[in-house]
Amino acid sequence: MGVAALMTQSDDVKATVEWAEQFQGNYRLMTAAEKAEARARLERRYSAQYSKKVTVDTSEALPGVLMGYALNIRKCIGCRRCVNACVEENNQSRGKNPGERIEWIQVLRMERGEFSKEKMNEGYPEGLGIQVGGNAYTPAGQVLEGQYHYEPALVPEKDATYMPIACMQCEKPPCVKVCPVRTTYREADGPVVIDYNWCIGCRMCMGACPYWARRINLTTPVLPKAEMNPVTHYLGNRPRMRGVVEKCHWCLQRTRQGRYPACVEVCPVGARKFGNLLDPQSEVSLILARKNVFRLKAELNTFPKFFYFYD
């Protein structure tokens, strides 16, 4: 008996919905009809749960598209508007207790400083006989251990520089390689996605990701009804459950409809760019062709589709 038939026959709709969801197949392997059933079921459940009409898009990868992202590292002023816009758009948990606030983007604040050969040899503690690293006592240049919880009255701060990071949507993603239930995978148009229904919360992906991009819901996500964004994608910003891992997916609910990700739209200095890497005339392709570009931890051969650039 099909799931839809079961649902129409049941007296206890809620129990049947949960049963159907429990036994739902892996989204990657489901047929088009099964996906349509799952979508209808979720739209009904979320609409009842959040007291508003919720849509769950299931649109597939866009043909002829490979999504790419570029960020002008010189322009970022560290305002963290991208972080907050992402939380609102993507229905992240926003409670006040530890573990209840989830942010996919981190904007690292790092000290400005000069880096010189001489400074490399300064700062070793005398007499200890151990090397703790050059410049142990004085900051000298940018390090990748920045602060991401900072609340200055004004940004940018005089002695700070900022480095936003999030999922790099690797072409060779370590998180995909380690997932034991194959619930995380790379879509044909680029983003690496997660089928939350199949995530077992083992956190292998969190350990494997070299970019600190994945977050786990240790508690039931705190998502007030009034703040819930009802425009969702199955593989994107639909509500998550306790015990599942999530991360940035380049706002699939927007980008598959030809819109920019929320972080691109909100950035007040235009530091963030997004487009089709397969189109040589897209903004992101022109940046790659003309600007100074680098990728974070390029030596790991993860081949991120997130590029940093400067003029």
Residues near ligand SF4, by CB under 6 A: 76-82, 107, 162, 164, 167-170, 173-175, 192, 209, 211, 213-214, 247, 266-267, 269, 271-272, 302
Sign of CA dihedral 212, 169, 238, 201: negative
Residue 162 beta carbon to ligand SF4: minimum distance, rounded to whole angstroms: 6
Cβ nearer to ligand SF4, comparing 17 with 236: 236
Cβ nearer to ligand SF4, comparing 40 with 155: 155
Residue 101 beta carbon to ligand SF4: minimum distance, rounded to whole angstroms: 17
Residues 69 and 283 sit within 8 Å (Cβ to Cβ): no
Instruction: Report the C-alpha dihedral over residues 292, 172, 271, 110, rounded to 10 degrees.
Output: -90
Residue 245 beta carbon to ligand SF4: minimum distance, rounded to whole angstroms: 9
Residue 266 beta carbon to ligand SF4: minimum distance, rounded to whole angstroms: 6
| Residue 163 to residue 146: CA distance in whole angstroms | 8
Cβ nearer to ligand SF4, comparing 107 with 140: 107
Instruction: Report the C-alpha dihedral over residues 16, 20, 21, 27, rounded to 10 degrees.
Output: -160
- Number of C-beta neighbours around residue 153 at 10 A: 5
Residue 164 beta carbon to ligand SF4: minimum distance, rounded to whole angstroms: 5
Cβ nearer to ligand SF4, comparing 39 with 75: 75
Cβ nearer to ligand SF4, comparing 174 with 239: 174
Cβ nearer to ligand SF4, comparing 37 with 195: 195
Measuring CA to CA, which residue among 236, 196, 198, 231 is closest to residue 104? 236
Measuring CA to CA, which residue among 4, 33, 14, 24 is closest to residue 197? 24
Residues 284 and 67 sit within 8 Å (Cβ to Cβ): no
Cβ nearer to ligand SF4, comparing 3 with 160: 160
Residue 307 beta carbon to ligand SF4: minimum distance, rounded to whole angstroms: 13
Residue 248 beta carbon to ligand SF4: minimum distance, rounded to whole angstroms: 7
Identify residue 104 by its one-letter amino acid code. W
Measuring CA to CA, which residue among 197, 242, 147 is closest to residue 34? 197
Residues 6+ apart with CB under 8 A from 130: none
